[in-house]
Amino acid sequence: MTEKFLHNPSKPDKSKPWSPNCKLHTGYYSKSPDSAFYTCEICGGKTWKPTSPIPLLIVSVLIVFFTFFMGYFALTVMNDTRGYFVFSVGLYFGYMFSRNYVSNGKHWRSFRKWAKENRQ
């Protein structure tokens, strides 16, 4: 016979989705099959799985540097003016990644603060 252990929603667990509105690990569902976020069953807000922002930052910086390098290479070595387009794509990627990083960092800090307050 196997025993099923239920998770205490107020106990911090990085592997479980977390609702920043409820400040609990709540039940969740997907509004549609292609939805990027799950919805909290209690408050109806987005749930979030705590992930460290450092790997996201490293990958983002590498992608932006790569696009800038490709633009530089196209302009200097190949004498191709499409390098300006690649630079603008790199700027756009940098902007989008920075917004994502700031949002993820904000959620990470709020989860860590909550987890520190609720350690048992």
Tens digit of pLDDT for each residue in 40-90?
A: 888 888 887 776 677 778 888 888 888 888 888 888 888 888 888 888 888
Position 4 scores a pLDDT of 42
User: Are residues 43 and 58 located together in one domain of the fold?
Assistant: no
User: Are residues 63 and 111 located together in one domain of the fold?
Assistant: yes
Better pLDDT: 9 or 38:
38
User: Are residues 33 and 61 located together in one domain of the fold?
Assistant: no
Residue 37 lies in a domain: yes
Distance CA 88, CA 71 (A): 9
Residue 2 lies in a domain: no
Q: What is the mean pLDDT of residues 20-24?
A: 83
Q: What angle do CA 21, 23, 25 make, to 5 degrees?
A: 110
Distance CA 26, CA 83 (A): 48
Residue pair 91/67 in contact by the 8 Å Cβ criterion: no
Q: How many domains does the chain have?
A: 2
Domain residues for 30?
8-49
Stated pTM of the model: 0.61
